[in-house]
Structure 1
Amino acid sequence: MQETAPHRFHIILNANSGTVLATGITVEALEALCAEAGLNAEVDGDVDIPLNERLKRAVDGGAEVIVAAGGDGTITALAGALAGTERAMGILPLGTVNALAKDLGIPLEVKSAIAALATGVPRRIDVGEVNERVFLHKVVIGVIPSLAAAREHIRGQGTWASKFAFMRFLVHRLSRARRMAVAINPEDGAEHIVRAKAVAVACNEYEQGLGKVFSRQNLDGGRLTIYTLTSLTIGDFVRLASGMVLGTWQDAPALSIESSAGVTIRSRRKLLKVMFDGEVETLHSPLRFQIRPRALTVLVPAGPEESQEGAAA
């Protein structure tokens, strides 16, 4: 018989995530929605305590499922605490991108996501690791992190002036960005030196298809995928973006793709600015990547057969 969702939940609410800021959802509102769905849930919304301390408190608390109620950064932080353990992670997607939630088919509307937790089933997925830090989607170096930092700076302003300012910055940054020289040493391949505008290392691979933008179906393939962009002019950017919508982005002439169980990326720079699952951070070079196969248990919506089994039980 298929396992059913454990019955004790500890929810870590990030009050600064995109959807929380937009909707104003509170601890009390979240508790009420959980009670309505029949969840035995404790909600931690204490923003005065550092996230790492809240994660430790949750892990020490003993709940069968610890839930990240926030954006991709909150989800990645919780995954780092739970990877390699038997504890399950739940997701309430309250961020701007909600990348992993989309990959797992988790509803993006809060009430529906809570209902999915109540009937969810465990699924084991891979996690990536760079310099001993867990990531779930991708780590990017090069020009992309500076673009992401600029976009994050104007997020929430929502004015035409801010959007125009970002577009001006985008054109200026892409036109002036220099290629960086890095050595890419895959675990099961030969080391090679590339001059690139951006290099991304993803946990498994992104699909190519109509409307599939940074979408993954295979989350337990046990491989890292390395994407290298040797050119990223404004024209390349437009072609790549349109190719993602049309399902042809992997055919871009400036893009090369390779796969490995692990890879080391070296640069002459001691510190590298990276986009780490959507968050801009600084990491020490070299960057040593590994994949940890099926290291994380995530609660996902039950399929039709699983739902019928649960109803029969």
Structure 2
Amino acid sequence: MQEISYHILLNARSGAAATGAITPQVLQEFFSSRGDIVSIDADTSIPFAKRLQRAAASPAKVLLAAGGDGTATALAQVAIEAGKTLALMPLGTANLLARDLSIPLVVEKWLEGLAEMEPRRIDVGEVNGRIFLHKVVIGAVPGIALAREQIRGRSDLAAKLGFFAYFVRRLARIKRFAAEITPESGDPRIERVQSIAVANNDYAAGVGQVFTRPRLDAGTLSLYLVRHLSFADALRLGAGMLMGTWRTDEAIEIENVKSLVIRTRSRRLNAMVDGEVIGLEGPLTFRIRPLALSILAPKPAPEPAVEPTAAVAVGI
């Protein structure tokens, strides 16, 4: 009997799935044309945790997350624990991991390119035992993200103007909070900030590179402290991201670490984990898990050759 090649977890509310462009029938026909045997879970009537348990129990060696960043992160945790490879069909809004790995964002291109993808090992971050693929943010951003969720799917002008007005008011009212930060090698220190972000590997600073990570295997977490975030700061930082100058902005401090602990006065914190706002119990304990995840992705582009210097050429 032929083994199951892929177990597919389809988020029916994401992108192309929500519009009907990607259905279980479409996926079944595509993989059958390749000679693959697949199991497809598109049953949204079942609790998501139960669907993840099904994925973990599947005999398939590859778990395919057909959805957004939240679906990818949840299934990545299962893949790591079960010793399986993750595949990612990006159907969400941001698709940050897919962008970093050059995974095609257009469904037709993804289907065409699957045959050329191969398993790659990448790092994952972990907070209180829960993995993240992109970043964890506490402070001002999660509250703004929750407001954004309330108008998701709405394209009318009133909704957009209402969110913008809320965004401006929120920035004007944001207060700094004290956080005790303890890196793996160093003494605890108190920082007064408006937001803290911890990213899996570091974000690049280049023209047009917004939240882009050139490497996912450097084995480090990046700590970003936002000391003040007024509306003017937000505009300046946004322009800096487009111009490639944001890393030197006065409002931000950046530090690379392997692990750290963050304590605040709050016992429970709202945190944005890979785009999803959840509650986490303090203190927050972070660590990097180098090369913990196997994921199907296109071959990385070869690094440009370095011309030998004259000294090297003569053997000095």
TM-score (norm 2): 0.91
Partner SS state of residue 105, structure 1: coil
Match of 1:299? 296
Alpha-carbon contact 2:267-2:282 (below 8 Å) kept: yes
CA distance in 2, matches of 1:38, 1:237: 51
Give the Cα separation in 1 of the matches to 2:138 and 2:9. Answer: 30
**Which residue pairs with 1:311 in the alignment?**
none
1:112 and 2:109 correspond: yes
**Structure 2 unmatched runs, 5+:** 303-316
Counterpart of 1:309 in structure 2 is none
CA distance in 2, matches of 1:230, 1:302: 39
- How big is the shift at 1:303? 5.9
**Alignment counterpart, residue 217 of structure 1, candidates 193, 214, 217:** 214
For 2:173 and 2:149, locate their aligned partners in 1 and report how far apart those are by CA, in whole Å.
21
Residues 119 and 265 of structure 1: CA distance in aligned 2, closer, same or farther (over 3 Å): same
> What pairs with 1:181-200 in structure 2 (closer than 5 Å)?
181-200=178-197
Q: 1:211 to 1:304 in 2, by over 3 A?
A: closer
Please give the alpha-carbon distance, in whole angstroms, between the structure 2 residues aligned to 1:189 and 1:22.
51
- Letter of the 2:39 counterpart: E
Aligned partners of 2:267, 2:8: CA distance in 1, in Å?
38
Task: State the distance in 2 between where 1:217 and 1:25 align.
Answer: 30
3-state secondary structure, aligned to 2:238 = helix
Q: Is the 8 A contact 1:38 1:118 kept in 2?
A: no
Residue 197 (structure 1) shift: 0.8
The answer for the alignment partner of 1:179 in structure 2 is 176
- For the pair 1:228 / 2:222, whether they are aligned, the reply is no
How has the CA–CA distance of structure 1 residues 268 and 192 changed in structure 2, closer, same or farther, with 3 Å as cutoff?
Answer: same
After TM superposition, list the pairs within 5 Å mapping 1:38-53 onto structure 2.
Answer: 38-53=35-50
Matched, 1:139 2:136: yes
Contact in 1 for aligned 2:219/2:288 (Cα 8 Å): yes
Amino acid at match of 2:178: A
Q: Is the contact between residue 37 and residue 114 of structure 1 (CA under 8 Å) also seen in structure 2?
A: no
Aligned pairs for 1:96-107 (under 5 A) are 96-107=93-104
Mapped contact 1:84–1:296 kept (Cα < 8 A): no
Give the superposition deviation at 1:85: 4.7
1:263 alignment counterpart: 260
Match of 2:120 in 1: 123
User: Which piece of structure 1 moves more, 13-22 or 99-108?
Assistant: 13-22
What is the alpha-carbon distance in structure 2 between the residues aligned to residue 242 and residue 144 of structure 1?
Answer: 18
Distance between the aligned counterparts of 2:108 and 2:36, measured in 1? Answer: 12
The gaps in structure 1 that reach 5 residues or longer are 1-5, 306-313
| 1:246 has 2:219 as partner | no
Between the two proteins, the alignment pairs up a number of residues equal to 300
2:52 is aligned with 1:55: yes
What is aligned with 1:275? 272
1:186 maps to a residue whose letter is P
Give the residue type in structure 1 aligned to 2:192: R
Q: Which shows bigger deviation, 295-304 or 146-155?
A: 295-304
Q: What RMSD, in angstroms, separates the aligned Cα atoms of the two structures?
A: 1.8
Equivalent AA in structure 1 for residue 108 of structure 2 = K
CA distance in 1, matches of 2:34, 2:253: 47
Retained in 1: the 8 A contact 2:4–2:39?
no
Identity value in percent: 45
Shift of 1:9: 1.0
Structure 1 partner of 2:311 = none
Scaled by the length of structure 1, the TM-score of the pair is 0.91
| Shift in alpha-carbon separation, 1:304–1:278, aligned structure 2, 3 A | closer
Q: Is the 8 A contact 1:66 1:89 kept in 2?
A: yes
User: Contact (CA 8 Å) 2:4, 2:59: kept in 1 or not?
Assistant: no
Worse-matched range after superposition: 15-24 or 39-48: 15-24
Relative to structure 1, the CA distance from residue 101 to residue 38 in structure 2 (aligned partners, 3 Å threshold; closer, same or farther) is farther
* 1:200-242: CA deviation from partner (whole Å, max 9, x where unpaired): 0001111110111111121011111100000000000011111
Q: What displacement does 1:41 show? A: 2.5
Question: What whole-Å deviation, never above 9, does each CA across 1:3-25 have from its counterpart, x for those lacking one?
Answer: xxx98111110112234224553
Bigger radius of gyration, 1 or 2? 2
SS state of the match for residue 67, structure 1?
strand
Stretch moving more, 21-30 or 202-211:
21-30
Q: How much has 1:117 moved relative to structure 2?
A: 2.6
Contact 1:69–1:91 (Cα < 8 Å) also in 2? yes
